[in-house]
Amino acid sequence: MKITAIIAEYNPLTNGHALHLRRAREETGADTVLVVMSGSFTQRGEAAIADKYMRAEQAIYAGADIVVELPTIYAISPADNFAYGAVKTISAFSDVHYISFGSECGDIEKIEKLADLLLNEPAEFSSVLKAGLKSGMPFPKARAEALKAYAENHAEYEGLKDILDYPNNSLGVAYVMAVKKAGLDIAFHTVKRVGGGYDSTDIDSEYPSATAVREAFKRGETDKIQNAVPKSVMGMLSVITPQGDTLGDMELFKLKSISGYELENYYDVTGGIHNRLKIAANDAHDIGTLLNNAKTKNYTMARLKRIALYALLDITKKDWEDAVKAPPYVNILALRSDRKDILSLLSMGCKNVLTRYSDVSKVDKSLRRFIKLDYLTQGTLEIINRSGMFAKKMLLI
């Protein structure tokens, strides 16, 4: 079996994602496309637009053979930890030949060359990076600026200096670094993004981003969305309603009800931000005001949203440390009905496989906290969406 893996959120799946699925299979010669997909919440610290089983179903219709969940603790992590968790999940499959991802540059050689540089940072690069962090830059921006400075003095890296200015490029670099750190024998494939960029809200571009689709969905512009997504995704969107402020209200309540000391123990809380969050929480009447008042030049809005989510879900620094030590597990969300052979292959290489919550009793005990978190977030999303339409186990499609 020759597997190509794709790491995705499909929030929701767009025509651009469907194009990537087709090209990944064709250009890597894969007979199996594995998708590792975020579940109920996304890397920006936001609720997914739809239930993970519904989104996994759309991935199968668009060309995937199997969709497994990226465990929640990784799915809502900063980029490098997100990539680490995705690659760790992929490592449970023994025949993965490629990881395929979209990128703005579309040049896998450049992405691999940059990953090698970042894995073996020259002293000159590290010095500029540390200076940027000390000045208060968020890590992604500090690293991008360090790359520009380094490229100015080293002509062989001139063509790479802008790579980290784009989010999909940066994620691609993170995937390559994670694979190399893990010592896995996996090659890489990339498809150049076309149309609207990752953050673009232009629903009228050739291939609008998922961000643009979500924004149009909130505005009720269904006539424009239908040109941006496959028909089956349009059908999915027709049975859900735009989310209100329920998640923000839940996060605001939690941040108001805990102490600064308790907040300090949550995952990725550093540098005194817990004090700013507590002060902002005391005066805020909505989560948007709280986050805007707490924001500093050191903290991106996405990071603050993630921290609010960590607090709501009680994800601590120790939880992350335990997750790193734990073995990989595979929670299967959807599978093509004619590809049950994948399950046989998976069972030979991974002891921790789930198709429903009752399987939690069969896996390594160190994983149970994280599996329960996956299902807790599923229930939380159900409250947020108020649809009650969620599947509870793997889908055979």
13 assigned binding-site residue? yes
DSSP string covering 329-375: -EEEEEE-TT-THHHHHHHHH-S-EESBGGGGGGS-GGGHHHHHHHH
102 assigned binding-site residue? yes
9 assigned binding-site residue? yes
Q: How far, in Å, CA of 99 to CA of 24, rounded?
A: 9
Consecutive H or E run containing 324: helix 317-325
285 assigned binding-site residue? no
Write the burial class of residue 322 (CB in 10 Å: 0-12 exposed, 13-18 middle, 19+ buried). middle
274 assigned binding-site residue? no
261 assigned binding-site residue? no
* The residue to which tokens 């894995």 are assigned: 119
Q: 3-state class of 179 per DSSP?
A: helix
175 assigned binding-site residue? no
385 assigned binding-site residue? no
96-103 and 3-8 as β-strands: parallel, antiparallel, unpaired? parallel
Q: 3-state class of 96 per DSSP?
A: strand
Helices 246-257 and 368-385: crossing angle in degrees, nearest 10, is: 120
- Within 10-91, where are the H helices? 15-28, 52-61, 72-75, 79-90
395-396 and 330-335 as β-strands: parallel, antiparallel, unpaired? parallel
121: tokens are 């940072």
168 assigned binding-site residue? yes
Q: Which of 88, 48, 96, 67 is nearest to 174 (CA)?
A: 88
106 assigned binding-site residue? no
R_g over Cα of the chain: 21
Q: How far, in Å, CA of 130 to CA of 125, rounded?
A: 9
Hey, which residues does 316 pair with through a beta bridge?
Answer: 266
Q: Do 334 and 68 touch, CB atoms closer than 8 A?
A: no
8 assigned binding-site residue? yes
Task: Write out the binding residues.
Answer: 7-20, 102, 168, 193
Which residues define the annotated binding site for ATP? Answer: 7-20, 102, 168, 193
